[in-house]
Amino acid sequence: MKRGQDLKTWGGVFIAVALFFLVLGAPSALQAKKVYRLKIQSAYPRGDISMGLLKHFADYARKKSHGRLLISVFADPELVPGEQLFEATQKGTVDMLHAVPAMWAGIIPVGEVEFGLPYAYRVPGSRSITEASDAVRKFFYSSGFVKLLREVYAKQGLYWLDMHSYGKVFTVSRKKVTSCKDFKGMKVRVEGIKQKFYDMLGARGMFIPGSDAYMGLKLGTIDASQWDVSCITGLKWYEVAPYWIVGGQNDAVEGNILVNLKTWKSLPDDLKKVLSDAAADYYKVLLEVYEKEMKKVDKLVKAGKVIKSPIDKACEEQCRAVAYKLWDEVAKKDPVSAQAIGMIKKWRKSLK
């Protein structure tokens, strides 16, 4: 009789222990099966190459997560206007954003540095936009810059996921520009501190959404506008601004993907890795496409539809001098910007 009672006792203990571990493992098991549906919006309109390739980013995440990470992709201004995108991602209205950090430099001054101060991302001897961009990416991850950025963005309720490159800065113009005198009085559409850069060259730097640039160039509201290569091959600004101003620009333009911090923390570790891997893959695929787009530009140049307009050596040197003066001004804005510019200066010395 006692043996039967002992068996019952031990059996009850075994069941209780089994139930304990079952309950303990239940959240992780449920988490492993949960489907996470996220929304990402770009600051750029449809027709922009980098915006269109966000579909590849979403497809990669879906496949690698076996359908547990589903990302819906939107262009500017399909969910919110581009100027509201940063705040919308902070609040969680949008889970992720895709943009250039100069857009919120008024909130995070180092965003201006991250985006690329004039001449900061000039890579001597680079033979392609991929080679130049890889050099910039290496700087981000080897210098401590990424760690610095993640700390700053976390204070704003955002997770800095990764950087990507839009390749060379393209400036298209309604008129031919070969010297800095030609910039006098021109209205140039640019982002962030580059507005002041053009002001110092005698032009008038101004900002309007990229989606409005074609009409602005057509009507003469603006005389020139900066973008990446897709301003020619995708947005076709050359139809109304055929001159491609060559010189005075960076060899790579940095953009990033930011994630609402609560959304990021809610993801299990394996899906965080998937999202990070998707962003790294997006970086590579984007550059592969940009290399092909550069070949299209070459064909348009040969056909006379795009007209190269290189600035002279004197203007190049003037642009460089103005740029370095701006570096000093930005460094004074806050300690983080000063630290970031110090990192860039150290990196640039290693390139020589």
- Main-chain dihedrals φ then ψ at residue 112, nearest 5 degrees: -65, -40
More confidently predicted of 209 and 308: 308
- 156 and 143 both lie in a single domain: yes
- 144 and 46 both lie in a single domain: yes
Per the structure, the complete domain to which residue 261 belongs is given by 34-102+125-165+255-298
Task: Find, among 86, 89, 88, 90, the residue nearest to 106 by Cα.
Answer: 86
Rounded Cα distance between 218 and 210, Å, is 13
Confidence of residue 192 (pLDDT cuts 50, 70, 90): confident
Task: Find, among 59, 70, 57, 68, the residue nearest to 270 by Cα.
Answer: 68
- 268 and 217 both lie in a single domain: no
- 310 and 198 both lie in a single domain: yes
Give yes or no for a contact between 267 and 206, defined as CB atoms under 8 angstroms apart.
Answer: no
Give yes or no for a contact between 230 and 49, defined as CB atoms under 8 angstroms apart.
Answer: yes
Model pLDDT, residue 249: 87
Please name the helix (run of DSSP H) or strand (run of DSSP E) that holds residue 167, with its range, or none. Answer: none
Region 38-44 average pLDDT: 96
- 203 and 224 both lie in a single domain: yes
Instruction: Name the burial class of residue 95, with classes exposed (0-12), middle (13-18) and buried (19+) by CB atoms within 10 angstroms of its CB.
Output: buried
168 in helix, strand or coil?
coil
- 263 and 243 both lie in a single domain: no
- 341 and 234 both lie in a single domain: yes
Rounded Cα distance between 119 and 101, Å, is 17
Q: Say if 262 falls within a structural domain.
A: yes
Q: Say if 157 falls within a structural domain.
A: yes
- 56 and 183 both lie in a single domain: no
Model pLDDT, residue 224: 98
Region 53-71 average pLDDT: 98
Q: Say if 13 falls within a structural domain.
A: no
Region 110-124 average pLDDT: 94
Per cent of the chain over pLDDT 70 is: 91
Q: Say if 149 falls within a structural domain.
A: yes
Q: What is the CATH number of the domain that holds 132?
A: 3.40.190.170
Q: Say if 59 falls within a structural domain.
A: yes
Region 180-195 average pLDDT: 94
Does residue 165 have a pLDDT over 70? yes
- 154 and 192 both lie in a single domain: no
* Terminal-to-terminal C-alpha distance of the chain: 89
Region 270-283 average pLDDT: 98
Rounded Cα distance between 111 and 153, Å, is 10
Q: Say if 113 falls within a structural domain.
A: no
Q: Which of 266, 282, 298 is the last residue of a domain?
A: 298
Region 321-341 average pLDDT: 95
- 135 and 57 both lie in a single domain: yes
Confidence of residue 23 (pLDDT cuts 50, 70, 90): very low
pTM of the prediction?
0.84
Structural domain total, the chain: 2
- 76 and 216 both lie in a single domain: no
Confidence of residue 21 (pLDDT cuts 50, 70, 90): very low
Q: Say if 282 falls within a structural domain.
A: yes
Does residue 169 have a pLDDT over 60? yes
Does residue 320 have a pLDDT over 60? yes
Region 302-315 average pLDDT: 97
Q: Is-cis flag, bond preceding 77, omega within 30?
A: yes
Q: Say if 208 falls within a structural domain.
A: yes
Give yes or no for a contact between 74 and 40, defined as CB atoms under 8 angstroms apart.
Answer: yes
- 49 and 91 both lie in a single domain: yes
